[in-house]
Structure 1
Amino acid sequence: MCESKLLGGLGFRHLHLFNLAMLAKQLWRIWSYPEKLLSRVLKARYFPRSDVFSASLGTRPSFTWRSVMAAQSLFRKGCRWRVGTGEHIRAWDDPWLPRPRSFKPITPAPVVPANLFVADLVTPDGLDWDVVRVRELFWPEDSEVILGLPLSRTREPDLLVWHYSKNGRFSVRSAYHLACLLDDRPGSSSLGEHESSWWRKVWQSKIPNKIKVFVWRACLNALPTSANLHRRIQGFQAGCPLCCAEKEDVMHVLALCPFARQAWGLSSFRSSSLGLDSQELSLFFCFCWALWWCRNRKLMEGECVNPAQVSPFASHYLAAFLTQSAGAATRCASPIPSRWQAPPSPFIKLNFDGATPGDGEMAESIAVREAVNLALRKGWRSVVFEGDCATLILKLQSPMKDCSFTGTIVADVLNLASVFSSCRFSLVKRSANAVAHFFAKCAVDFVEGDHIVPPAAVPLLQLDSMME
């Protein structure tokens, strides 16, 4: 029951591990809000000259502190530093590389220089890595990771982040998953990729949740069939209520019973089909559930269902569910522009996009920073920046500090954008960002500069001009 859904469980929380995750949240709060009364009291009592990372249990600890310290190991294993200026991060002693699980360099620390800080690996202007020195001090496995880290152009301070969440902020959910990953209890299930892929298809199918649970129970032989009840209840009859067979198990209900055979024969499914797409698989699950529903109808109410009605019933049931789900999604969706539109006066609009074989959001973040710098160089005061990366636009629009991997660049963008009289960051669809997307995909071939328009981009520009 406590195993992940991808491992054949139901995803219920293991109480001990979940409790550790909840306690780790208190450590995160103590670190993040040192001015709070609880943080000041605990620091004065248990770690007056250190922090929560190096704090110890101490003598005669209270129940509260003893409980919180039980999660210190979990807290340490999930936190790392995000490089800002690098002035407070020790290159070999502190966790700062985005590479689980130690987050520290694997290169042995040199004798000289001692106590090296990350700031010592940056050029004097603080804008780029000192590539020569990084490659001299670190093995290639470390140097490539280090050189791929973004550096702040506005001297953002170093920030402690939670590695196992996308936004860099602590969450009980991610801490619980980390605790499960680190848990080495005997008996933990370990399924192959094939089994995990099957369970992923089950839980991601667009069917009602009760049918997903039915499929899960059927796969684990956990349905209350007569055979299963006979093993648990002394004297219980194991016969099938539909055909009066001596033994009714899951396979009998869904495939071997004469009623099921007739229903399958009248359906659109064929035994020769070796693969089903997602829609057919959803209908298959609904059909199996419909067989179980007919069986219960006969058992509980004594009503016999015609086998020819099973397939239409399953199809109509699934269609009604999908229609209702699509309606709910449509009501919740917000309109996003799908065509480029000219900005209102006196605004200047800059569309941006980024393309890279690696982290797409990182490329988009660098692109919007370059767009802001371009607007500043041109002296524009009222600017609209449009992009098609939803996660990046949400970060730029959010009032909360971004602690993610790209948060350093997001902070640079917001700091630079504060100079404008008026500035907006807007999300558009890819079709409304076609020209910027074209430039991003072909950027490797553009060597003329930012003032030359390649001939291949002219048709896209003409199409956008017609939308003004």
Structure 2
Amino acid sequence: MAPDSLACRVLKARYFKNDSILEARRGYDPSFTWRSLWGAKSLLMEGLRCRIGNGHQVSLWDDAWLQGEGMGRVPTFNLEAGLYLKVASIIDQEHGCWDIDAARELLTEDDVGRVLAIPISKRLPPDEMYWWPSKDGCYTVKSGYWMGRRGSVRAACFGDDENSCELWRDRFGWVLKNLGENDGGRFLAIAWAIWTIRNQRIFDESPPSPEVVITGFIKMVSEYRVYAQRVLGDSARGSSRPANSWSPPASGAIKINTDAYVPGNGVVGLGAVARDENGCIRWIWSRRVRARWDVEVAEAQAAIFGLEIAQEKGETAPMLECDALSLINALKCGASFRSAVGLCVDDINYLCNCFPNSSVSHVKRGGNAVAHLVARLCETVGDTIVMASDFPHAMSAIAELDLI
């Protein structure tokens, strides 16, 4: 409902004149429209989270701002802390990052770990609300329907993450490559059968026997392979798509490849490497930070890191390239996301606009090997490695292989 619409203005004047709709009461003898909206309020409250910008508008204890499953609120209240503290109290406002020492004074270690999973922008924009079950942070009927029917965990499974198809395609490609044609086909048949059984258990009252379904799918795939070989011959095998390789930028420009290393122990490695039109490495920059970002956020932070270094180096026409397809698609579509990842996308767009000429592109992991090694260079949290010459032999060798 648009805020300036007649219906919204009438409802606000009567039911929540001095508050937001989330703080409004049901009231006495409400209209049918307001009763309907009120009935869906609990669903809305379950899916809404606060995206942290500067933290001045978000209550540390009362608002839902933590990521992950559950209600999103801090579960353990600190009796010695102030009742009306804001999230800004645990943010280093000068450097635009979390104040870990302040967070540990107020929160438990588990809660601090959840805080470290949230990215912070150095721009410290205003706080916003977002719908966490959807990828872009905007409410959709589909995600709202599944949340109402199956709960928050189900809603996350049935979200609008179309980019995950590419991720699963790469994973299945790796499995098929290592198992071979026959075992790979059997593996896909079993995976297909498991997914079918899962759907039948959720939506059907009397699901069939798993053994019967799996055996039937394996037989069907085997019979189809025989049929396709007889009818189509060698063309049934198809041809595998070659992996993308690194390509040099235009003359006078540099290409900045970035990558992130997420070992899963509360630290993240960020790496950036700049190369010219001849494929020669201009500089590499590696840093290890204390954070619990997921892979998507870590890749976005690595891109931010690379552009910041390019800005410090005085580059004028950087070409940002990484192997995170969902991130590149988000940057190219130009849409503004309200989710935590969307905050990182906004930072990347802001940095790109600081250059006279800049562009973004995607490359598969095989063409991003140098940046992958750079992200693993640092071994201690807080360390930064900068090189403009005498690069490690492994990196130089891989950079030369990219040109073959």
1:381 aligns to 2:316 (yes or no): yes
Measure, in 2, the Cα distance between the counterparts of 1:139 and 1:282: 49
1:398 Cα deviation from its structure 2 partner: 2.2
Counterpart of 1:316 in structure 2 is 227
Amino acid at match of 1:362: V
**Distance change in 2, residues 1:324/1:69 (3 Å):** farther
Superposed, 1:299-314 pairs within 5 Å as: none
Counterpart of 1:353 in structure 2 is 259
1:442 Cα deviation from its structure 2 partner: 3.9
1:355 Cα deviation from its structure 2 partner: 1.2
The 3-state SS of whatever aligns with 1:349 is strand
Measure, in 2, the Cα distance between the counterparts of 1:414 and 1:93: 32
The 3-state SS of whatever aligns with 2:261 is coil
**Distance change in 2, residues 1:160/1:350 (3 Å):** same
Superposed, 1:411-426 pairs within 5 Å as: 411-426=346-361
1:449 aligns to 2:355 (yes or no): no
1:148 to 117, 122, 134: 117
The 3-state SS of whatever aligns with 2:303 is helix
1:447 Cα deviation from its structure 2 partner: 5.9
Counterpart of 1:89 in structure 2 is 58
**Distance change in 2, residues 1:48/1:426 (3 Å):** same
Superposed, 1:196-275 pairs within 5 Å as: 201-202=192-193, 204=195, 220=207
Counterpart of 1:6 in structure 2 is none
The 3-state SS of whatever aligns with 1:435 is helix
Higher normalized contact order (CA 8 Å, seq sep 6+, divided by chain length): 2
**Distance change in 2, residues 1:336/1:160 (3 Å):** farther
Amino acid at match of 2:92: T
1:42 Cα deviation from its structure 2 partner: 2.3
| Identity of matched residues, % | 29
1:62 to 19, 28, 31: 31
Counterpart of 1:191 in structure 2 is none
Amino acid at match of 1:463: L
1:315 Cα deviation from its structure 2 partner: 4.4
Measure, in 2, the Cα distance between the counterparts of 1:458 and 1:402: 38
The 3-state SS of whatever aligns with 1:155 is coil
1:104 Cα deviation from its structure 2 partner: 0.7
Q: Deviations over 1:247-290 (max 9, x none)?
A: xxxx9xx9xxxxxxxxxxxxxxxxxxxx97xxx86342468xxx
The 3-state SS of whatever aligns with 1:449 is strand
The 3-state SS of whatever aligns with 1:84 is coil
Measure, in 2, the Cα distance between the counterparts of 1:461 and 1:320: 45
Counterpart of 1:402 in structure 2 is 337
The 3-state SS of whatever aligns with 1:414 is helix
**Distance change in 2, residues 1:281/1:158 (3 Å):** farther
Equivalent pair of 1:365/1:406 in contact (CA under 8 Å):
yes
Amino acid at match of 2:340: F
Counterpart of 2:174 in structure 1 is none
Counterpart of 2:89 in structure 1 is 120
1:176 to 137, 145, 168: 145
1:88 Cα deviation from its structure 2 partner: 0.3
1:407 Cα deviation from its structure 2 partner: 2.2
The 3-state SS of whatever aligns with 2:260 is coil
1:336 Cα deviation from its structure 2 partner: 9.4
1:316 Cα deviation from its structure 2 partner: 2.3
Amino acid at match of 2:327: L
Please tell me the root mean square deviation across aligned C-alpha atoms, in Å. Answer: 3.8
Structure with higher Rg: it is 1
Measure, in 2, the Cα distance between the counterparts of 1:221 and 1:36: 51
**Distance change in 2, residues 1:314/1:389 (3 Å):** closer
Counterpart of 2:9 in structure 1 is 40
**What residue ranges of structure 1 are gaps of 5+ in the alignment?**
1-29, 184-197, 206-211, 223-250, 255-274, 288-310
Measure, in 2, the Cα distance between the counterparts of 1:387 and 1:151: 21
1:436 to 371, 379, 391: 371
1:44 Cα deviation from its structure 2 partner: 2.1
1:167 Cα deviation from its structure 2 partner: 2.4
TM-score, with structure 1 as normaliser: 0.62
**Distance change in 2, residues 1:405/1:320 (3 Å):** farther
Measure, in 2, the Cα distance between the counterparts of 1:144 and 1:169: 26
Measure, in 2, the Cα distance between the counterparts of 1:119 and 1:447: 27
Q: Deviations over 1:125-165 (max 9, x none)?
A: 15122222211111112122113321111122211111222
Counterpart of 2:277 in structure 1 is none
Counterpart of 1:458 in structure 2 is 396
Measure, in 1, the Cα distance between the counterparts of 2:208 and 2:58: 54
**Distance change in 2, residues 1:200/1:57 (3 Å):** farther
1:72 aligns to 2:41 (yes or no): yes
Measure, in 1, the Cα distance between the counterparts of 2:230 and 2:53: 52
Counterpart of 1:293 in structure 2 is none
**Distance change in 2, residues 1:110/1:336 (3 Å):** farther
Q: Deviations over 1:86-122 (max 9, x none)?
A: 1100101111111332211112243542310111111
Superposed, 1:126-165 pairs within 5 Å as: 126-165=95-134
**Distance change in 2, residues 1:393/1:62 (3 Å):** same
Question: Which has more strand, going by share of residues?
Answer: 2
Counterpart of 2:297 in structure 1 is 362
Amino acid at match of 2:388: H
1:62 Cα deviation from its structure 2 partner: 2.3
**Distance change in 2, residues 1:336/1:345 (3 Å):** farther
Measure, in 1, the Cα distance between the counterparts of 2:225 and 2:259: 45
Equivalent pair of 2:245/2:367 in contact (CA under 8 Å):
yes
Counterpart of 1:344 in structure 2 is 250
1:391 aligns to 2:329 (yes or no): no
Counterpart of 1:290 in structure 2 is none
